[in-house]
């Protein structure tokens, strides 16, 4: 197990509850003689903190562990920035669902203490890279831990596009777009669009059509090593967009090509020792834990 000494802390902006947890986290880590490094935007929420401050990029070079206080979106952002550094991430949930940020603020010291003493499990989660090309020239790039989504933006018109997997033509489709999701993202936007839940250990990607024009269009699960190519139809009257974890949008034009592949770097996600994916699903998705009499 890794020995964590230099611990980076990132907090979601604009939340009083996050600030409360950040203060408690700072006090606990200092009392246990850990070196604490605050992310530069997070530092602005803790005036007079007296700690070292660093950019996310620098944190990836000097930290042994990064703790993210916020929701899953906060951890997604940290993962995209820190994947290349191979620094393990631990999430403290101050959001809503919390599939990735699974330590509760109410038992922060106990759970964090266990993790810092080596009582944890580690998962490797892969990300997706998306590249946009126009007339053979690169136009935009993004990474996603959850999903890469082709969507109509503010338009209400359907998008026409062709789908290729590993160079093989799959279909032409008219729909509101397509969600290309990792197993991590299968419990997020993909799920709400009718996609399957995939175990995080799977090396697979799911393609989920959004309101397709034909009822025969269904989600497709493919090998995680696949190259997915989307070609925006030349006859589109709208300029669709491609988004990465819902955070960054790149405008597309008719004829553009989007290539989506697995990122070469994985993130290291730390969980408490008793973490269980199916228990998380029961809790977060409201699955029954026993058969009750009617």
Residues belonging to the binding site for NAD(+) are 72-73, 146-147, 157, 174, 176, 187-192, 247
By annotation, the residues acting in catalysis are: 72
Burial of 106 (0-12, 13-18, 19+ CB in 10 A): exposed
Q: Report the 10 Å Cβ neighbour count for 31.
A: 9
Specify binding-site residues. 72-73, 146-147, 157, 174, 176, 187-192, 247
256 Cβ contact list (under 8 Å, min separation 6): 132, 133, 134, 139, 231, 232
Place of tokens 């969980």: 271
Which two three-digit tokens encode residue 101?
A: 């940020």
**Three-state SS string across 12-34, please?**
CCCCHHHHHHHHHHHHHHHHCCC
Residue 69, SS3 per DSSP: strand
Cα separations (Å) of 250 from 178, 242, 247? 15, 5, 10
- In the chain the first and final C-alpha atoms are separated, in Å, by 48
């Amino acid at each position: 197990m890794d020995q964590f000494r230099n611990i980076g802390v990132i907090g979601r902006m604009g939340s009083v509850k996050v600030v409360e947890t950040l203060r408690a986290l700072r006090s606990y880590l200092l009392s246990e003689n850990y070196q604490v490094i605050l992310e530069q935007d997070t530092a602005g929420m803790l005036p007079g903190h007296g700690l070292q401050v660093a950019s996310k990029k620098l944190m990836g070079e000097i930290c042994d562990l990064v703790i993210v206080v916020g929701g899953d979106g906060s951890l997604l952002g940290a993962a995209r920035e820190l994947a290349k550094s191979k620094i393990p991430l631990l999430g403290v949930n101050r959001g809503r669902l919390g599939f990735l940020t699974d330590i509760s603020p109410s038992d922060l010291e106990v759970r964090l203490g266990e993790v810092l003493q080596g009582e944890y499990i580690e998962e490797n989660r892969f990300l997706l890279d998306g590249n946009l090309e126009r007339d053979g020239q690169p136009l935009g790039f993004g990474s996603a831990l959850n999903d890469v989504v082709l969507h109509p933006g503010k338009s209400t018109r359907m998008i026409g596009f062709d789908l290729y997997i590993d160079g093989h033509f799959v279909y032409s489709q008219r729909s509101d777009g397509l969600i290309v999701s990792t197993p991590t993202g299968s419990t997020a936007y993909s799920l709400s669009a009718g996609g399957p839940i995939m175990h995080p250990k799977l090396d697979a990607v799911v393609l989920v059509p959004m309101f397709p024009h034909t009822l025969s269009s269904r989600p497709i699960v493919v090998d995680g090593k696949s190259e997915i190519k989307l070609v925006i139809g030349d006859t589109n009257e709208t300029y669709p967009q491609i988004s990465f974890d819902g955070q960054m949008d790149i405008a597309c034009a008719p004829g553009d090509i989007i290539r989506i592949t697995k990122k070469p770097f994985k993130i290291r996600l730390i969980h408490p020792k008793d973490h269980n994916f199916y228990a998380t699903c029961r809790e977060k998705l409201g699955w029954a834990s026993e058969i009750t009499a009617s």
